[in-house]
Structure 1
Amino acid sequence: MGDEQVERRDIEALLAARQELGPAYDADLVQSFADRVERAVDQRVGATADRRHHREMMERRQMIFQFVLGAASVTAAIPISITLGVTGNYLALLIAWVGIVLVNVAHASTMRRDDR
């Protein structure tokens, strides 16, 4: 079935059918309408659960990527720091560390922006 919607006109149609058919069909009409309402609620709940699951998966992936980026940054920073520190290139060392920090901060800030 397509997108199940229960609208005011559906309730009006139910009441009109009830008047035409009489009290003998009340239970069947109400049951049919109740089934339709239940399907509509199930669809909305399912869609909400799907969106929540997708959002949680994306957050988990972003957290893993942030961890990997941090670990790779530290791994890259060690030989850079040793090389530049031993050779006395302290300005280059400072620039390298500022760059590494900025990359990590920039990525972390995009993750926070996505949460809003």
Structure 2
Amino acid sequence: METRDQDLKKELAATLQARGELGAEYEAALIDSFLEKVDRRLDTTLDRRVRRQLAEQQVTVARGGRPAPPGSFGERHGLAVVSLVLAVPLSAIGAANAGIGGLVVSWLGIVGVNAFQAARGGRLFRRREDGAVRENDGMSDWSG
């Protein structure tokens, strides 16, 4: 993992050096290029984690065990963690553009999203089996 971090540091250093050589008119293009590399790195890391988690669940089921329940820690607290990470830039943008009122509105939005998730039992999305109606009652598949 440290090698990957070093690669990213080298990319950032190269981007900053290119910005110094090319000037401010190319700044947006250089930043976009660097962010695309970071995005690809995040996608690769996320894909690897998802594949590993799916493999672990398959091994658990194959051994006769049960997979982690749907309300596992990551699912229950994922949105809360993400919203706290995003709270910093949202607070800065709100406060910079609208002062204390913008800060209050941004935090009300953050609290509102987390309250909505908590009211749904900590799940972001309804699972098909949770919303499905029995086939023999003649109703649609979703109870909406």
TM-score under structure 2 length normalisation: 0.40
TM-score under structure 1 length normalisation: 0.49
Larger Rg over CA atoms: 1
Higher helix share: 1
Q: Which has the higher contact order (CA 8 A, sep 6+)?
A: 1
